[in-house]
Amino acid sequence: MAETNTTTAAANAVAAASDCGLRPSLCVARDVGGMLRDSGLRPTRQRIALGRLLYAKGDRHVTAEILHEEAMRARVPVSLATVYNTLHQFTEVGLLRELAVDGSKTWFDTNVTEHHHFLVEDDNKLFDIPGAHVSVDRLPDIPDGMEISRVDVVVRLRRKA
Ligand SMILES: [Zn+2]
């Protein structure tokens, strides 16, 4: 019996580890320091504190302002500028995906797999479109020497009058 449990635990650990690359939130809450080191970022106290806030709640979407507010509430002493820089550093090493939804706000997504979003304009709330139920039929010709890196679809919603 004990052996079965050990095997299961090992299998789970392997599953979690293999998901880490694309879904940091699935595995990181346990070891933010290790995740940062694996990504080539020095695990400073601030990065670890912000990483814990970011990844402890599963897949989510934050702006620098939202995360800064959470840090204040958790008594993590960081400036908004530091939060902003940290979010960009995490994005550069692939731990976050940046979503430019409109000109004034940059969202960061802990789920870095390919997916699309609904935006509720009234509430300024962003959430995933479940499954892969978006197809883009026609894309424009792209300039010579370029390739499409990815296509982000944001479906904007508002409440019916
Ligand atoms: Zn998302």
| E strands, 17-90, in order | 61-62
> What average pLDDT is seen over the chain?
82
Q: Which residues are found with C-beta within 5 Å of the ion, ligand 1?
A: 109, 111, 128
At residue 71, the pLDDT reads 96
User: How far, in Å, from the CA of 142 to the mean position of ligand 1?
Assistant: 26
Structure tokens at 160: 């019916």
User: How far, in Å, from the CA of 28 to the mean position of ligand 1?
Assistant: 17
| Reported confidence tier of residue 7, pLDDT bands at 50, 70, 90 | very low
User: How far, in Å, from the CA of 38 to the mean position of ligand 1?
Assistant: 23
More confident of the two residues 18 and 98: 98
User: How far, in Å, from the CA of 70 to the mean position of ligand 1?
Assistant: 19
Is the predicted pLDDT of residue 10 greater than 50, yes or no?
Answer: no
Domain ranges of the chain: 2-102, 114-157
Is the predicted pLDDT of residue 18 greater than 90, yes or no?
Answer: no
User: How far, in Å, from the CA of 1 to the mean position of ligand 1?
Assistant: 40
More confident of the two residues 12 and 120: 120
In whole angstroms, what separates CA 69 from the centre of its chain? 17
User: How far, in Å, from the CA of 61 to the mean position of ligand 1?
Assistant: 6
At residue 6, the pLDDT reads 44
| Reported confidence tier of residue 66, pLDDT bands at 50, 70, 90 | very high
User: How far, in Å, from the CA of 7 to the mean position of ligand 1?
Assistant: 33
**CA pseudo-torsion sign 61, 92, 48, 58:** positive
Q: Right CATH number for 2-102 from 3.40.640.10, 1.10.10.10, 3.30.470.20, 1.10.3720.10? A: 1.10.10.10
Average pLDDT over residues 5-19: 44
What single DSSP character describes residue 153?
Answer: -
Is the predicted pLDDT of residue 100 greater than 60, yes or no?
Answer: yes
